[in-house]
Amino acid sequence: MLKAVLILPFNVLVIIPLFILYFGGFELMPAKNLCLWFLAFLLLAGGLTLMIWTMRLFAQTGSGSLAPWNPIKKLIISGPYAYVRNPMISGVFLFLGGECLLFQSLPLFCYLLIFISINLIYIPLVEEKGLQKRYERRYLEYKKCTPRFLPKLIPSLKKKKQKR
């Protein structure tokens, strides 16, 4: 799991943004903008929370990791997955948005837009097709009632009460 975290999210959230900020320049948000600091903190904390929660679910419930070389063995539809199909990527979007706000960097914002665009193409064309092949009808049912990136306010696929 550590290898997957170091290779995937760490590079996307730390290494690449550091290069962009170093070469593209940045201006830290002025301290007087308390509302914007609070919003940046919410985005960073919310994104990090979603990513950690998702990685724990991958390991505990799905018996796998976020890495393609160790995919989950069981479809996860609990926790944040009850509200959105891709909470890990939603968490990355939030975290990168918080970095953009905090560092006031246009190149970093362009990176966020490119990252979002790539995922808007990759997830439906590659990832979802693989999940559909692996989990068949169960994934199709889940996909039908759970949005891809923007969460619903009520969970999808509520457990049905068993008849007695």
Decide: helix, strand or coil at residue 69.
coil
pTM equals: 0.86
Examine residue 76 and state whether it is found in any structural domain, yes or no: yes
Is 133 part of a structural domain of the chain? yes
pLDDT score recorded for residue 157: 63
Quickly state the pLDDT bin for 16 (edges 50, 70, 90).
very high
| DSSP conformation class of 146 | S
What does the angle CA 26 – CA 27 – CA 31 come to, to the nearest 5 degrees?
A: 150
What average pLDDT does the segment 73-85 reach?
90
Q: Is 151 left (phi over 0), alpha (psi -120 to 50) or beta?
A: beta
Structural domains of the chain, count:
1
- Inside any domain, residue 136: yes
The whole-number average pLDDT for the span 34-44 is 94
The answer as to whether 132 is a domain residue is yes
The string over 59-76, giving b where at least 16 C-beta atoms fall within 10 Å of a residue's C-beta and e elsewhere, is bebbebbbeeebebeeeb
Nearest to 94 by CA among 155, 127, 51: 51
Does 156 map to a domain? no
Segment 94-147, tens digit of pLDDT: 999 999 999 999 999 999 999 999 999 999 999 899 889 999 999 999 999 898
Q: Give the domain range for residue 44.
A: 32-145
Looking at residue 3, its pLDDT comes to 64
| Residue 108 resides in a domain | yes
Q: Confidence band (pLDDT; 50, 70, 90) for 7?
A: confident
- How far the first Cα of the chain sits from its last, in Å, is 42
What is the spatial distance between Cα 12 and Cα 48, in angstroms, rounded to a whole number?
A: 13
* Portion of the chain with pLDDT greater than 90, in percent: 55
Q: Within a domain: residue 129?
A: yes
Is the model more confident about 146 or about 154? Answer: 146
